[in-house]
Structure 1
Amino acid sequence: MGATAGAVWGRTEQQDFRSRVRGTLLGVAVGDALGAPVDGLGLDGIREAHGAEGLADLASAYGRRGAVTHLTQLSLFSVDGLIRAQVRRDTGAWHPPTDLHRAYRRWIATQRDWGPDLRRKDDGWLAHEEWLYVRRDAPRALLLGLGDETMGTPEAPKNPDERGPEAAARSAPFGLLVGWEPQLVAQLAVECAAQTHGHPTGYLAAGAYAVIVHGLARGESLDAAVQKGLALLAARPGHQAVTDALQQALGAVRQGMPAPGRVSALIGGGTAEGLVAAAVYCALVGEDVRHGLRLAVNHDGPSAATGALAGGLLGALHGETALPPAWLAELEGRPTVLELADDFAMEMTQGPALHGPAGSSPGWLTRYPRG
């Protein structure tokens, strides 16, 4: 697995890319945080708790406003794994799914340990962030899939019947590999999704979502990015459910005013393809980021995952400055998200200067060890 040759980045291109990286990761987190307080409630329950219009603002979850779930935690470790893969490439070891699996194993330690083990230098800086050592309702599929050293693959996946949205919801960072060809982005997302979600619907939805984010991060329209995702899906066995869901999302856009019932219908049974489709619909019909995210969390399905998926799309499409400042101000872990986003943007645009043949930055290799 490889990438296309890196282009020379101009200052304007670097700034746009950094804004989209920040927007994507903050969008995932803020959509997750918006949906977390009503996750598991049906629309009637949401309206009973928050009024006839449903949830319109951040509310309390896990004892605070702006709290994120395991979905954001794992998205951050996806970014960490991608940076580590780039750094390890200098050694001749180039297998990103393995580096992502190691990153997810560092996440599983946060769900098991009381706090970071500062003696373990090879963990890097993200695994030493104390706020990540909280349990946020990670489902059994994640805990089982990452619970031992064996790495699932599409040929021998973990949890082969698992169709949930969690793998897709941690896959936005793969779409930020803008120097890669879309089919490689899809393949990496699929291989990493199979580590926990082994049903073709689960891992192909993750691949399609990553490709859509990839198109947006490259400056394409959302409709064009979805069409590219559909074209790539068509060649893969078992794609029909994901393809049908995305086509239904595009069709729903033409069916009148946005409404919670349309979102709930797209979500269906709450499996990955339905949530990705619903997120696409909300991003397409939302008047702005705030409206799109509200649509993504007020329905009968899993609100945090739909919010996270829609937030990743909206952030990649519009960049950091389009996200609601008041929501970002209360977002749990915001400094960590921004630091990681900026590190990712720096690695992707200036990696050879940080750890290449011409020299390396000891500080960077401390943050992202090659081990």
Structure 2
Amino acid sequence: MRMTGTEGDAEGVTFRSRVRGCLLGGAIGDALGAPIEFDSLGVIRRNHGREGLTDLVHDWRGKVGLVTDDTQMTLFTVEGLIRAGVRQREKGIGGAEVDVVRNAYLRWLDTQEHQAPPAADDLVRTGRLREQTWLYSRRAPGNACLSGLRQKLGPLAGPGMPGPVNPGSKGCGTVMRSAPFGLAASDAPGAFRLAAECAQITHGHPTGYVAAGAFAAIVFYLSRGATMSEAVRETLGLIGDLPAHEETTAAVEAAVALAAEGRPSPEALETLGGAWVAEEALAIGVYCALVSEHDIERALLLSVNHSGDSDSTGSVCGNLLGARHGEAILPRSWSSRLEGRDTVVELADDLTDLVTGSGDPRPDRYPGN
């Protein structure tokens, strides 16, 4: 498999562009799918025509390009990873990434429970991202994400065992926020491990955290220059001997087989499930990215036009193809109307600077805990 460094590859795509592409692409897919998240395919076609949704549309608030909790939590994942990196660099303290990411999710929880930034009484509650008022909007967050963060996190589970929080939950909330682990990691096993551990902050079902880890590993390979088929093949090999991999492996293999048949359609996509659970969201995102790898607009529209969790599958597909091709592939007519675009780009660049050592994320912006 081809692997590249961070300076650019044979296609002229830099790592910075791939990180931007991954985060912006996920946000675009999220915004595309959000207005139709709870609609059946029949309702989507009745409201938008035989081809279904073909552009960003107004949501029930009359606004275009708004993101959901998928993008919100992804951004706080990025912030948590940067803060963990700054903590290690400034204080020489490493190994607490799960705790630091959980603290970031607690700051996200503030955005769901308050109308504006509440008073911060400690470093856990402070941070530049938390102060951005546009994030203070409840966008149909998953119940397990909310309830999990209100619980105390006990010791993490061993491989294949239920996690300490919501042990029966494998909702797609683990997958939709996990792309940043693949961008920040130094290798694929590390991406898998940290994503799987941080998934247990809110979801304890083994498939929920294995699927999150698999998604992060695919993103790792893509962001270092792999094709979709290469990234998926390497990831299946990575997880194939792990406990409790079976549901995730079966779902991804079904996506690969379906993509090989060609003739993509919403009806074909829906045979992979509704994406309300982690392995189905991953499979649908992988299927759309495989079957339309070089046409991100077509892939994203396919990923949202179905009777399931449209914003999450749009987000996963956008993360994958943005990491695969970089920022330049994203349709400008969509990215220009995206809520919070400047924030996404800023976080993407700060993460890139941290990973590559090409810049210096400021400790005052990212206090290390």
**Do they fold alike, i.e. is TM over 0.5?**
yes
Aligned to 1:97: 98
Aligned to 2:137: 134
Instruction: Provide Cα deviations, 1:181-236, integer angstroms capped at 9, x if missing partner.
Output: 21111010000011111111111110000000100001011111111111111121
Aligned to 2:184: 177
How far is the alpha carbon of 1:256 from its aligned partner?
A: 3.0
Aligned to 1:331: 338
Answer whether contact 2:275 2:313 (CA < 8 A) is retained: no
Q: More deviation in 309-318 or 156-165? A: 156-165
Does structure 1 residue 241 correspond to structure 2 residue 240? no
Aligned to 1:59: 57
Aligned to 1:360: none
Mapped partners of 1:173, 1:8: distance in 2: 17
How far is the alpha carbon of 1:113 from its aligned partner?
A: 1.9
Aligned to 1:72: 71
Assess, with a 3 A threshold, how the Cα gap between structure 1 residues 268 and 124 changes in structure 2: closer, same or farther: closer
Assess, with a 3 A threshold, how the Cα gap between structure 1 residues 19 and 269 changes in structure 2: closer, same or farther: closer
Mapped partners of 1:10, 1:188: distance in 2: 25
Mapped partners of 2:109, 2:82: distance in 1: 19
Q: More deviation in 307-316 or 87-96? A: 87-96
Does structure 1 residue 87 correspond to structure 2 residue 86? yes
SS in 1 for 2:113: coil
How far is the alpha carbon of 1:11 from its aligned partner?
A: 7.9
How far is the alpha carbon of 1:268 from its aligned partner?
A: 4.8
Q: More deviation in 60-69 or 291-300? A: 60-69
Instruction: Provide Cα deviations, 1:108-158, integer angstroms capped at 9, x if missing partner.
Output: 111112212465583221111110011001021011001144357234431
Answer whether contact 1:35 1:304 (CA < 8 A) is retained: yes
Assess, with a 3 A threshold, how the Cα gap between structure 1 residues 317 and 248 changes in structure 2: closer, same or farther: same
What's the C-alpha RMSD, in Å, of the aligned pairs? Answer: 2.1
How far is the alpha carbon of 1:274 from its aligned partner?
A: 1.2
Mapped partners of 1:258, 1:51: distance in 2: 18
Mapped partners of 1:262, 1:41: distance in 2: 17
TM-score w.r.t. the length of structure 1 is 0.91
Matches within 5 A, 1:342-357: 342-350=349-357, 354=360
- Pick from 280, 283, 288: which aligns with 1:274? 280
Aligned to 1:107: 108
Does structure 1 residue 125 correspond to structure 2 residue 124? no
One-letter code of the match for 2:138? R
Mapped partners of 2:137, 2:174: distance in 1: 20
Answer whether contact 2:151 2:165 (CA < 8 A) is retained: no
How far is the alpha carbon of 1:370 from its aligned partner?
A: 2.2
One-letter code of the match for 1:130? T
Does structure 1 residue 19 correspond to structure 2 residue 22? no
Assess, with a 3 A threshold, how the Cα gap between structure 1 residues 257 and 15 changes in structure 2: closer, same or farther: closer
Instruction: Provide Cα deviations, 1:320-347, integer angstroms capped at 9, x if missing partner.
Output: 0100100011111111111111111111
Q: More deviation in 256-265 or 142-151? A: 142-151
Answer whether contact 2:74 2:180 (CA < 8 A) is retained: yes
Unmatched segments (≥5 aa) in structure 2 = none
How far is the alpha carbon of 1:269 from its aligned partner?
A: 6.5
Aligned to 1:317: 324
How far is the alpha carbon of 1:254 from its aligned partner?
A: 2.0
Mapped partners of 1:17, 1:283: distance in 2: 19
- How many residues matched? 355
Mapped partners of 1:177, 1:235: distance in 2: 24
- Pick from 42, 45, 52: which aligns with 1:44? 42
Assess, with a 3 A threshold, how the Cα gap between structure 1 residues 62 and 76 changes in structure 2: closer, same or farther: farther
Answer whether contact 2:9 2:225 (CA < 8 A) is retained: no
SS in 2 for 1:65: coil
